[in-house]
């Protein structure tokens, strides 16, 4: 009951990927990409516009995986254009110019009537009936449809008893049925996992070391002989690629998008929250940060098994209707101070993290263990096993 719902986890996955891509550039090179939502929005809109047949040369039946790849490449081009201008600046100015680019796209897409009849409210997939599917393009049996309201169901295993009509076979008959939610969970999780491993690989390559060198001291990195401009451009392009993939996954699952939840600068702000809470400068951290955010959000809403239904059950009518102050009852108090107030508590936590835990959850855990969690846990197990008399 304390685990988040599958639907929540799907959000954690695709938004966590976006937060990871934000952290990839901001946490590892130290350049705060405050307009990172530009890439997320680009990926999100690209998928829907192709599905609605509004992108020249691409039919509305283009496989989803191709779309993700193309969206990523488009973002790479955009990142190189943006970066060519933005990397002439540092610090606050870099953050502002990326923010400026993102806001230009935001205003543009919320007013451009080509994308849909009411661009300010966003657009939905209208041009195709089937859900988007993740898998190997053009091989139907290796594709799984994802979607919030539609999507594949999947049965794993075999029911021999039903197939043969022999009841005696029932002990070896096992089936697991995945609903659309679970299928989306695994398929989106798979893409996010691959992206995570790719980013992880890049960070641990010489290129990734150069990125960290830039964060620690850019002048010194240049003096050592790195072409820092090219490293930064490369990092920004890679980060843009994964940001757009995250955006594509978001609309692939939700099949609708609005300027507010894609291009708007506060979308990048949410990624920033996730990165700081999870661990700035760790690849996996933002995913945990987002999990925390979504978990708290779910905990503080009326639906599901969170705090509010629990309080309502435990407190009873009498307590709920007790007047605290000037006709203000306990029930209203819960409504005002708890229901949907995740933003407040996340914000408070964020401030506390910036002040006292600047490394975030994962970074602090790493500092405590003295290395990456995976490495230290494995080493500890190894030490323990060696001690055993076999």
Partner 1 sequence: MIPLVSLVDAVTHFLDPSVLGRVLFDGLAKASIYVMIAAGLTLIFGLMGVLNFAHGSLTAIGAYLGGLVMVTFAASASGNVGRIALFFVAIVVVFALLTAFGGAMEVSLIRPLYDRPPLYQILLTFGITLVLEELLRMVLLFYDIQPSTDWLAAQGTRPEIISKTHDVVGLGVEGLEVFQILLGLAITAGVWVFLTRTRYGLYIRAGSEDGEMAQALGVNVHQAFTVVFGVGVGITGVAGALLMWDSAWAASINLGAEVLLPAFVVVIVGGLGTFRGTVVAGVLVGFVDAFTTELFTSDIVGFSALPELFIFLILVGTLILRPQGLFGVEEVGGH
Beta bridge pairs of residue 135: 143
Instruction: Figure out which of the listed residues 107, 142, 166, 378 binds partner 1, where binding follows CB under 8 A.
Output: 107
Is 331 one of the binding residues for partner 1 (CB under 8 A)? no
Binding string, residues 272-301; x marks residues near partner 1 by CB under 8 A: xx--x-------------------------
Nearer to partner 1, 63 or 100 (CB): 100
CB of 230 vs partner 1, minimal distance in Å = 20
Number of residues that bind partner 1 (CB under 8 A): 44
Residue 304 token pair? 């599901």
Is 195 one of the binding residues for partner 1 (CB under 8 A)? no
Is 330 one of the binding residues for partner 1 (CB under 8 A)? no
Nearer to partner 1, 99 or 244 (CB): 99
Is 142 one of the binding residues for partner 1 (CB under 8 A)? no
Beta bridge pairs of residue 329: 323
Q: CA-CA distance, 190 to 340, in Å (whole number)?
A: 30
Q: Report angle CA 91, 349, 18 to the nearest 5 degrees.
A: 55
Helices (H), 125-217: 160-164, 180-203, 206-216
Q: What is the DSSP letter of 145?
A: E
Nearer to partner 1, 116 or 180 (CB): 116
Q: What is the DSSP letter of 12?
A: H
Q: Please, are residues 147 and 131 in contact by the beta-carbon 8 Å criterion?
A: yes
Long-range contacts of residues 302-309, Cβ cutoff 8 Å, at least 24 apart: 302/339, 304/5, 305/1, 307/338, 308/334, 308/338, 308/339
Residue 21 token pair? 């891509």
Is 99 one of the binding residues for partner 1 (CB under 8 A)? yes
**Range in contact with partner 1 (rule: CB under 8 A) among 47-55, 94-102, 198-206, 286-294:** 94-102
Is 138 one of the binding residues for partner 1 (CB under 8 A)? no
**Range in contact with partner 1 (rule: CB under 8 A) among 89-97, 132-140, 221-229, 367-375:** 89-97
Q: Please, are residues 195 and 17 in contact by the beta-carbon 8 Å criterion?
A: yes
Instruction: Figure out which of the listed residues 138, 310, 328, 368 binds partner 1, where binding follows CB under 8 A.
Output: 328
* Block residue for tokens 């680019």: 101
Is 185 one of the binding residues for partner 1 (CB under 8 A)? no
Q: Compute the Cα dihedral for 52, 56, 62, 65 and give only its sign.
A: negative
Is 357 one of the binding residues for partner 1 (CB under 8 A)? no
Beta bridge pairs of residue 323: 329
Residues 335-354 close enough to bind partner 1 by CB under 8 A: 335-337, 341, 343-344, 346-348, 350-351, 354
Q: What is the DSSP letter of 159?
A: -
Nearer to partner 1, 183 or 346 (CB): 346
**Range in contact with partner 1 (rule: CB under 8 A) among 13-21, 56-64, 170-178, 261-269:** 261-269
Q: CA-CA distance, 136 to 147, in Å (whole number)?
A: 17
Is 222 one of the binding residues for partner 1 (CB under 8 A)? no
- Binding footprint of partner 1 on the chain (CB under 8 A): 30, 32, 85, 88-93, 95-97, 99-101, 103-104, 107-108, 110-112, 114, 265-266, 269, 272-273, 276, 328, 335-337, 341, 343-344, 346-348, 350-351, 354-355, 358
């Amino acid at each position: 009951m304390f685990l988040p719902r599958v639907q929540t986890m799907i959000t954690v996955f695709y938004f966590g990927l976006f937060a990871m891509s934000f952290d990839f550039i901001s946490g590892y090179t130290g350049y705060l990409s405050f307009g990172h939502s530009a890439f997320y929005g680009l990926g999100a809109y690209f998928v829907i516009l192709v599905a609605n047949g509004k992108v020249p040369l691409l039919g509305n039946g283009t496989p989803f995986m191709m779309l993700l790849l193309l969206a990523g490449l488009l973002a790479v081009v955009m990142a190189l254009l943006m970066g060519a201008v933005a990397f002439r600046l540092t610090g606050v100015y870099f953050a502002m110019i990326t923010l400026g680019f993102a806001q230009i796209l935001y205003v543009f897409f919320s007013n451009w009537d080509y994308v849909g009849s009411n661009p300010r409210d966003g657009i939905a997939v209208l041009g195709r009936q089937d859900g988007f599917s993740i898998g190997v393009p053009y091989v139907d049996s290796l594709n799984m449809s994802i979607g919030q309201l539609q999507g594949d169901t999947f049965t794993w295993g075999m029911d021999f008893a039903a197939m043969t009509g022999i009841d005696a076979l029932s002990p070896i008959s096992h089936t697991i049925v995945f609903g659309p939610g679970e299928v989306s969970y695994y398929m989106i999780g798979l893409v996010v996992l691959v992206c995570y491993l790719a980013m992880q690989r890049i960070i641990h390559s010489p290129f990734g070391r150069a990125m960290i060198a830039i964060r620690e001291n850019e002048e010194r990195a240049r003096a050592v002989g790195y072409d820092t401009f090219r490293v930064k451009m490369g990092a920004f392009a890679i980060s843009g690629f994964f940001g757009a993939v995250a955006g594509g996954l978001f609309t692939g699952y939700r099949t609708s998008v609005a300027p507010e939840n894609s291009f708007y600068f506060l979308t990048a702000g949410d990624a920033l929250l996730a990165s700081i809470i999870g661990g700035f400068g760790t690849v996996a951290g933002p995913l945990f940060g987002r999990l925390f955010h979504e978990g708290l959000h779910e905990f503080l809403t009326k639906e599901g098994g969170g705090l509010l239904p629990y309080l309502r059950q435990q407190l009873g009518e009498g307590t709920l209707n007790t007047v605290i102050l000037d006709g203000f009852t306990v029930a209203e108090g819960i409504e005002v101070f708890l229901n949907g107030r995740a933003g407040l508590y996340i914000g408070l936590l964020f401030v506390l993290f910036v002040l006292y835990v600047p490394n975030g959850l994962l970074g602090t855990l790493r500092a405590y263990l003295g290395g990456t969690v995976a490495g230290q846990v494995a080493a500890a197990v190894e030490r323990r096993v060696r001690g055993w008399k076999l």
